[in-house]
Amino acid sequence: MSRNFASILIPTMHTAQVIPISPQRLKIACSECSLRELCLPVGLSEIEVERVETLIGGRRRIKRQHPLYRIGDPFDAIYAVRTGFFKTEVLADDGREQVTGFQMAGEIMGMDGIVTERHSCTAIALEDSEVCAIPFMQLEQLAREIDTLQRHFHKVMSREIVRDQGVMMLLGTMRAEERVAAFLLNLSQRFATRGYSPTEFVLRMTREEIGSYLGLKLETVSRTFSRLHDEQLIEVRQKNVRLLDIPGIRRLMRHECD
């Protein structure tokens, strides 16, 4: 039974098949986990890890299509995805929505709420999911005491800012085919990091959600998938995707130089 911070770092259910972990070895496994840098700083003493574990507010299960938090909700915690898959989306005044990201195991959500103490986006589970809530006041308290935790948290926020820059690049300069290619490669890389196949995975989101994220209409996403398929770069059947030629897909993105 693991409802502590360390456990979010450690792939449980999903990756149990890939990296078997006995329950009593959780902390050790954390230090061996290839994802550790996503969630916990390296170099914590055992005592410090224990303190971090006490900080976790608790685990929350979110059913598919249900929100973890909504725009306007009071902010009091950030969340680490334990299992499952989320999307975050923002809302324009006129009602238009835009998916700003997809979050998977080991990733942190909710930092948008710090500035106004209300969430500025909505996080919705794309499949039955589980998160660890990390009460923000307590996180700040502990960050004041543990340098490496403080630094780590700052890196997590910074990584989010850098990720956003990448999305801007994608939305601002790429054409449809490049966007879809970048999206697939990004997913592939993130799955690989977590020990899953980088070439074969399931899209938890609809074409419309992909389109929203990529600034395209769902029809364009669908057509682009079909085109990549015609070019023998991918195989798609519904939500199942197989990347047949990753170098080829990567090449698409450099195609339109300058």
- Residues forming the site for its own copies (CB under 8 A): 90, 92-98, 100, 111-116, 120-121, 140, 143-145, 147, 150-151, 154-162, 164-169, 171-173, 212-215, 253-254, 256-258
User: Based on CB atoms, which residue is closest to its own copies, 133 or 156?
Assistant: 156
Quote the least distance from Cβ 82 to its own copies, whole Å: 22
Apex 141 CA angle, 135 and 142, nearest 5: 90
- Tell me the backbone φ, ψ of residue 148, rounded to 5 degrees: -70, -30
Quote the least distance from Cβ 9 to its own copies, whole Å: 17
How far is the CA of 61 from the CAs of 79, 128, 162, in angstroms? 12, 7, 29
User: Based on CB atoms, which residue is closest to DNA, 76 or 128?
Assistant: 128
Quote the least distance from Cβ 36 to DNA, whole Å: 32
Of DNA, its own copies, none, which one sits near residue 46, judging by CB under 5 to 8 A according to partner kind? none
Of its own copies, DNA, none, which one sits near residue 59, judging by CB under 5 to 8 A according to partner kind? none
What's the rounded Cα separation, in Å, for the pair 9 and 83? 10
Q: What is the DSSP string of 88-114?
A: EEEE-TTS-EEEEEEEETT-EE-GGGT
User: Based on CB atoms, which residue is closest to DNA, 16 or 202?
Assistant: 202
The SS3 of residue 200 is strand
- Interaction of residue 44 with DNA, rule CB under 7 A: no
What's the rounded Cα separation, in Å, for the pair 199 and 189? 9
User: Contact 53/4 with Cβ under 8 angstroms?
Assistant: yes
Among 38, 87, 220, 249, interactor with DNA by CB under 7 A = 220
Among 189, 219, 232, 255, interactor with DNA by CB under 7 A = 219
Apex 62 CA angle, 49 and 200, nearest 5: 85
Closest to 53 (Cα-Cα) out of 105, 8, 6 = 6
Q: State which H helix or E strand residue 150 sits in.
A: helix 147-173
What's the rounded Cα separation, in Å, for the pair 146 and 51? 10
Residue 257 CB coordination number (10 Å):
4
Quote the least distance from Cβ 72 to its own copies, whole Å: 13
Stretch 2-41: interaction string toward DNA, x if CB under 7 A: x---------------------------------------
Among 33, 105, 187, 216, interactor with DNA by CB under 7 A = 216
Quote the least distance from Cβ 233 to DNA, whole Å: 14
- Interaction of residue 215 with DNA, rule CB under 7 A: yes
Residues that bind DNA (CB under 7 A): 1-2, 175-177, 206-208, 215-223, 225-226, 236-239
